[in-house]
Structure 1
Amino acid sequence: MATYFDPKSWSPSRAVDLGKRLFDQSWLEQWVTVTTSWVDPVADLGMGTVTALMPDVLMTVLSEGILSRFGGQELTATLLGHDVRATLQVLKVRRRGAHFQTKTVLSRVHWDAHPVEAVTVIAHGVRMIPGVPTKVRASRIDVEGTLTVEALVGWLNEQPLDWSLRVEQNGLIRASHRTRRLTALIDAAITDDLLTIEVHRANWLGFRVPRALVRAPGVRLTDLPHRARVAFAARDEDLIRFRVELPEMTGSFDLAQMRSAIVAGTTLIIF
């Protein structure tokens, strides 16, 4: 049975057998030593001169480089056009047959300035295809995380909605219609892309509205970005716990930029 391995405990030299000289060197010295073994051959990919181990080399060196440089520290990245800032807690890789599986745990995440408490990302069926640029494909990505109700409400208030939202002390959400003088105290949850809203109390012009008259039908979430599917999202006191599933995705990056970003601690770019 395959198990996760920690890139910190798996030297790139074990994957490519560069020699015992690498074992006694620091990681940065290893990085400099192996640079030509995984960057220079990129130009020759079209001529078939790269060995079958090249994806292993790229995956191993990049994962070890990112974890060694940013582990426990704040990382900034541009991911598929979005600005991401987070503290990297875990980055693990394992080979599953012809492909890889990666696990990344982030805390104090800011996705385009929107705060998320913590995120765990597991990418299945990962393939790294060397080239200019280098491509990364994943057959499926599972994202689990938590964010505060306040953060979600703040994001929703930035959207062109007919309702203004505010979080009450009990964690429920007070929704006020912008033009109809209707207010409601609500809770919501998502299961298998179906949004259900529970109305606890509603008022119109200060008068209580019978709950039977303000039942909200379920809303099917369709056309989400990147064909995402929301498996579940539910409130747990002042937090919202969620799981999002993404189908096959492809990204690419420039090896030279990635190497420079790791060495200098600047922004990683995957587009």
Structure 2
Amino acid sequence: MATYFDPKAWSPLRAVDLGMDLGKRLFDQSWLDQWTAFTTAWLDPVVDFGAGTVTALMPDVLMTLLSEGILSQFGGQEVNATFLGHDMRATLHTLKVRRRGAHFQSKIVVTGLHWNEHPIEELTVIAHGVRLIPGAPTKIRSAQLDLRGVIGIDALTHWINTWQPDWQLTPAPGGMVLAQHRRRRLRALATAEVIDNVLTITLHRANWWGIRMPRRAVRLQPIPLTDLPNYARITRAQRVGDYVHFEADLPGLTGSFELAQIRDAIVAGTTLIVF
């Protein structure tokens, strides 16, 4: 049976309630000794007799130490990180890992995320087929990432405006979007939707120099969302008031990290974790 290593409940609110017992258990000398021993065996299994038996359990142990340590030290706090070359800043609520067959599945929930300075209100990431590969640095691979999040409509239109040169988009009442041409005196009220990673804009009213124009006279070309990080694809996006709820997926990716650096960040409580 698959079991989660993280001792907290799935709820982000309960995940932030860390508890004194867990903190003492993680940061007393025995935990540090375990971390040092397992890190040594992971990076240099030849030093231990019977290393084949020991290293068979290494991924489970390291995943446990990483998830418990990171969440216990940084849960409910703002964390600065560099992930695959992108600067991130967010408040961590949930970090859970469980074994699924030969690999792992992880779940991360953050709020107040700034991804390369683009704000996202809330983001949940589930990584499938996660593997740890020994070495210095240690590599981590995932087969697929599923994302579910909430972004403000102001932030989203600002982000979209950086992708295309012709139209300036701003939110409008009633779930509409006001599109103003950057070079012509064209203004249009429209609704937008994302289908198969393409933003499609449907005109409802348009005018030129204040003169009402037929909708067929003004065309807004679909905008491919090709500038998303790491070839992410948006599978669904729905506007709810001033926010847009979206779902996306990313193909498999590979990152790396230094175990000693992560350990030092957990023990010292520093706010920089580099993957």
1:255 deviation in Å?
0.9
Partner of 1:133: 137
User: In 2 relative to 1, CA 47–180 (structure 1 residues): closer, same or farther, beyond 3 Å?
Assistant: farther
Amino acid of the residue matched to residue 90 of structure 1? T
- 8 Å CA contact 1:79–1:269 kept in 2: the answer is yes
Give the whole-Å Cα distance in 2 for the aligned partners of 1:155 and 1:148.
11
- 8 Å CA contact 1:101–1:122 kept in 2: the answer is yes
User: In 2 relative to 1, CA 245–260 (structure 1 residues): closer, same or farther, beyond 3 Å?
Assistant: same
User: In 2 relative to 1, CA 46–113 (structure 1 residues): closer, same or farther, beyond 3 Å?
Assistant: farther
- 8 Å CA contact 1:8–1:64 kept in 2: the answer is no
Alignment of 1:102-251 (within 5 A): 102-159=106-163, 161-216=165-220, 218-222=222-226, 225-251=229-255
1:160 deviation in Å?
5.4
Paired residue secondary structure (1:132): coil
Give the whole-Å Cα distance in 2 for the aligned partners of 1:66 and 1:23.
12
User: In 2 relative to 1, CA 175–219 (structure 1 residues): closer, same or farther, beyond 3 Å?
Assistant: closer
- 8 Å CA contact 1:7–1:93 kept in 2: the answer is no
Give the whole-Å Cα distance in 2 for the aligned partners of 1:152 and 1:219.
13
1:71 deviation in Å?
1.0
Partner of 2:65: 61
Partner of 2:256: 252
Amino acid of the residue matched to residue 251 of structure 1? G
1:55 deviation in Å?
1.0
- 8 Å CA contact 1:55–1:130 kept in 2: the answer is no
Amino acid of the residue matched to residue 39 of structure 1? T
Q: Within the alignment, does 1:70 sit opposite 2:74 as a pair? A: yes
Amino acid of the residue matched to residue 93 of structure 2? Q
Single out whichever of 104-113 and 210-219 deviates more from structure 2.
210-219
User: In 2 relative to 1, CA 25–195 (structure 1 residues): closer, same or farther, beyond 3 Å?
Assistant: closer
Paired residue secondary structure (1:262): helix
1:248 deviation in Å?
0.9
Paired residue secondary structure (2:56): coil
Give the whole-Å Cα distance in 2 for the aligned partners of 1:158 and 1:188.
17
1:64 deviation in Å?
0.7
Amino acid of the residue matched to residue 273 of structure 2? L
Q: How many residues align?
A: 258
- 8 Å CA contact 1:149–1:171 kept in 2: the answer is no
Structure 2 portions without partners, runs of 5+ = 10-20
1:234 deviation in Å?
2.2
Partner of 1:32: 32
Partner of 2:44: 44
TM normalised by structure 1 equals 0.86
User: In 2 relative to 1, CA 244–63 (structure 1 residues): closer, same or farther, beyond 3 Å?
Assistant: same
Paired residue secondary structure (1:179): coil
Give the fraction of aligned pairs with identical amino acids, expressed as a percent.
53
User: In 2 relative to 1, CA 47–247 (structure 1 residues): closer, same or farther, beyond 3 Å?
Assistant: farther
- Cα RMSD (Å) of the superposition? 2.5
User: In 2 relative to 1, CA 31–201 (structure 1 residues): closer, same or farther, beyond 3 Å?
Assistant: farther
